[in-house]
Structures are given as C-alpha cells and as structure tokens.
Amino acid sequence: MITMEKTNTDVRVTIPKDAVPPKQLNAFLDWLRLEEIAQRSRLTEKEADPLAEETKADWWAANKEKFIPPPER
C-alpha cells in the first residue's frame, strides 16, 4: 500500500519495494525533480520556446540518420 504523510515542511510518500518497478519509479522521481526545477525557474514561455526549437533542431541533426536512410535524405 502506498501511503502519504504530510508535515509542516514535507510530504512523505512510502512505496513498498514491490509496488512499482524501479525503472518506473526512477522515471517518476525524475519527473518530480523536473517539476521542482520548473517551479523555481524564472524563464518565461517566450524565452523557452527558442531554446526548445534549438534543442530539437540539434537533436534531429545528430539523430536523423537513425530514422531516414541515406539515399532518402
């Protein structure tokens, strides 16, 4: 059984070892950490959009050969 306990400063979640596979638990914790960072960020959506586009373009340039065979490029 997954339980939650609230204190004045924290929320504690207890998850039995066999309740969630470790890979899924790590993915969830990564998402929580990202949310925490996003909440503290002062970056606006207008500022973030160009960064996201640049990141996508860089990723595609580095990985397109994995998806499109050379003769079709």
Per-residue pLDDT 10s for the chain (73 aa) are 999 999 999 999 999 999 999 999 999 999 999 999 989 999 999 999 999 999 999 999 999 989 987 776 5
- What is the rounded CA–CA span in Å between residue 58 and residue 21? 32
What's the total number of domains in the chain? 1
* Confidence (pTM): 0.57
Domain housing 59? 3-72
Task: Give the tokens for residue 9.
Answer: 């400063």
